Structure 1
Amino acid sequence: MPSITKFCYTCDSDEPHRPLTSPEKSWLKERTSRKNVEGFFMCQAPKCRNVRSGFNKRPFDPVIRVPLPD
């Protein structure tokens, strides 16, 4: 998956982000009760994994972090 540099609210800097994988999308749908999570990205900075949308750098309060894969 291609990385896109976006501002990360939790890192307070521009960081590489990637679109969510299918299992991550399913997890986010369950966590937020949203029907569509196609526009969300995950920060790839070490130990961050913060979720943001393409247009909103802080869509959740408190922030949501994608859990590490099993």
Structure 2
Amino acid sequence: MPPGIKFCYTCDTDEPHRPLTENEEVWLKDRTGQKNVDGYFMCEAPSCRNVRTGFDKRPFDPVIRVPLPD
């Protein structure tokens, strides 16, 4: 599997993922209360934006999706 391609639980397929931007990390910290969110990735499929870690396909129940930038 090419780098950056991971299984997306909400898409139910392998999709490109990328690390969170600095603003997205701040948002996720506020949303979850976690102090370290360096290991999270966002699905880049159109209209998905699901958050996962490198090892856990579904770290949140319910699913957390990064909001679209302003």
Q: TM-score if structure 2 supplies the norm length?
A: 0.96
Counterpart Cα distance in 2 of 1:26 and 1:52: 16
Once the two structures are superposed, residues 21-53 of structure 1 have per-residue CA deviations (whole angstroms, 9 ceiling, x without a partner) of 000000000000000000000000000000000
- Taking only aligned residues, the RMSD between alpha carbons, in angstroms, comes to 0.8
Q: Is 1:14 matched with 2:14?
A: yes
Instruction: Indicate the SS of the match to 1:42.
Output: strand
Deviation at 1:12, TM superposition (A): 0.1
What letter is aligned with 1:36? N
Unaligned regions of 5+ residues in structure 2, if any?
none
Aligned-pair identity in percent equals 75
Report how far residue 68 of structure 1 moved: 0.2
Give the distance between the partners of 1:55 and 1:18, measured in 2 at CA: 14
* Runs of 5+ consecutive residues of structure 1 not aligned to the other structure: none
Q: Which residue of 2 aligns with 1:64?
A: 64
**How many pairs are equivalent?**
68
**Large movers: runs of 4+ above 6 Å:** none
Letter in 2 for 1:54: G
Superposed counterparts of 1:1-70, under 5 Å: 4-70=4-70
